[in-house]
Structures are given as structure tokens and as C-alpha cells.
Amino acid sequence: MTPHPVSAESSPDSTPSLVSPSVPLNVRKEDVPLKLGIMASGNGSNFEAVASAIAQGQLNAQIQVLIYNNPEAKVAARAANWAVPAVLLNHRDFQHREDFDRQIVQTLRQYEVEWVVMAGWMRLVTPVLIDAFPDQIINIHPSLLPSFWGVRGVEQALDAGVKITGCTVHIVSLEVDSGPILLQAAVPVLPEDTPETLHARIQVQEHRILPPAIALATIRAKKERPDQMSGSRDS
């Protein structure tokens, strides 16, 4: 697919950007809704973006459950607003990462989740989770991977002095912030940027690319593993 330039928009929280590949917003209309489980640790603006895209008919999916790991996370209130069941699994209650991930898998299964979206999930995951949902876990990261993976991706970009950064949605594999890339958006770094101002503009793009990237992941999976894909009775 050909990348398409996105023209400058007048809103101050939006700058010229490039989103690639270009995908129609309303893909998968003909399919049965995807059953999503969202994992988040904090504010949850990406949770909100997915819920809004679904409500606006831009993504044919339903959020079966939100799993959050921080009792203070604002994302819990967002889930309540959207009437999405929210389950708090506090990693501090588990001695080993694997035990924590086993509980996550059990919860996702209990809510009949097919695709998992890590939308600001600030914990490392283990093969327990990845093997339970092979190639069906999606992550969003605030840099143009493979640059600036790991924590503080926005600060890393500023420290490196790059003039363009952005965000990436990818399929999760075991190494942190790696795995096949689904969609990226580029965001210019402005001379006066602070981590906060730059992150805010990156988040505008995150909200824009996460919903179509979820759809793209399912299209990709259907092509590669047509027999294993549920939620796609039309194939």
C-alpha cells in the first residue's frame, strides 16, 4: 500500500504527519464483531479511542473486558463510562510474572477475548500470555520502532535530537517493543518541544492509528492463518 501524506490541520494539538500504510477507517464492516480485551495501566486515552471508534462504526468490535494493573489508573473510570467490565489485577499481588500472566490469560478467556490490545500496558509480558494468544496481541508504542523502544520512548527521541518521531502499532512478540509492525505515524519534533508537548501530539496520532491497526491485524491474520481465525465467518 502507498503511504499517503496527511495535510496540516489547524488544531494546535495536531501537526503535519504521515500515516503508513493507508487503510480505510471502516474496514471489517461485513464481519462479526471482534472480541477485544484491552490491557492498560494509566490514563486510558487509547482505550477511549478504541471505544469511540467502535461507537462511531469505524471498527467492528466489542470490548469484552478491560484489565488494569494499577488501582489508581484513570482508565477504570473510562471503562465504567462505556459500560465495559473492568478487572483490576494488581501485579504487586503476584510473586512471579508468570503467575500474573496466568491470571490475565484466565480473565481474558473468561470474557471470551479473541484479540488483546495493550494500550499503555506498563508491564513486561511472558510467554505465558504470548503463547496463549499467538500473534493476537497488539501493542502501541510512542516512537517509530525499532528506534527508542522500551520505557521513555518520547524522552529518548528528544535526547537523541531526532527531528521526526511518532508512534507504532505492532503485533507483540517476546522481545520488548518488537514484532511485526502494523501501522506507524510520523510526528515532527518542534524546537520548543518538551516531553509533554511532544507526547501530546504523538497521542493524537496514536488515537488515529490504533483502531485501524486492530482491523489491519485481523486482516493480516486471516490471510496468513485463514483456518484459525474466528470472528470472520464470511471467509
Q: Which of 4, 141, 170, 207 is catalytic?
A: 141
**Shortest distance in whole angstroms from residue 213 CB to ligand GRF:** 12
Q: Which residues here bind ligand GRF, judged by CB under 6 A?
A: 40, 42-46, 119-120, 140-142, 167, 203, 206
61-68: strand order across its sheet: 4-6, 17-20, 181-188, 164-171, 137-141, 115-118, 34-40, 61-68, 86-88
Instruction: Name residue, grid cell 488501582.
Output: 71
Instruction: Return the residue nearest ligand GRF (CB atom).
Output: 120
Judged by beta carbon, residue 46 or residue 58, the one nearer ligand GRF is: 46
Q: How many CA atoms lie within 13 Å of 38's alpha carbon, on the beta-carbon side?
A: 30
Instruction: Name residue, grid cell 503508513.
Output: 20
Judged by beta carbon, residue 116 or residue 167, the one nearer ligand GRF is: 167
**Shortest distance in whole angstroms from residue 89 CB to ligand GRF:** 17
Cα(141)–Cα(113) distance, integer angstroms:
22
CA-based nearest residue to 12, from 200, 176, 146, 140: 200
Question: Computed from CA positions of residues 161, 40, 26, 136, in that sequence, does the dihedral angle turn out positive or negative?
Answer: positive
Query: Nearest 5°: phi and psi at 59?
Result: -140, 120
**Shortest distance in whole angstroms from residue 61 CB to ligand GRF:** 17
**Shortest distance in whole angstroms from residue 13 CB to ligand GRF:** 14
Judged by beta carbon, residue 46 or residue 136, the one nearer ligand GRF is: 46
| 141 in catalytic set | yes
Judged by beta carbon, residue 154 or residue 229, the one nearer ligand GRF is: 154
Q: Cite the active site residues.
A: 141
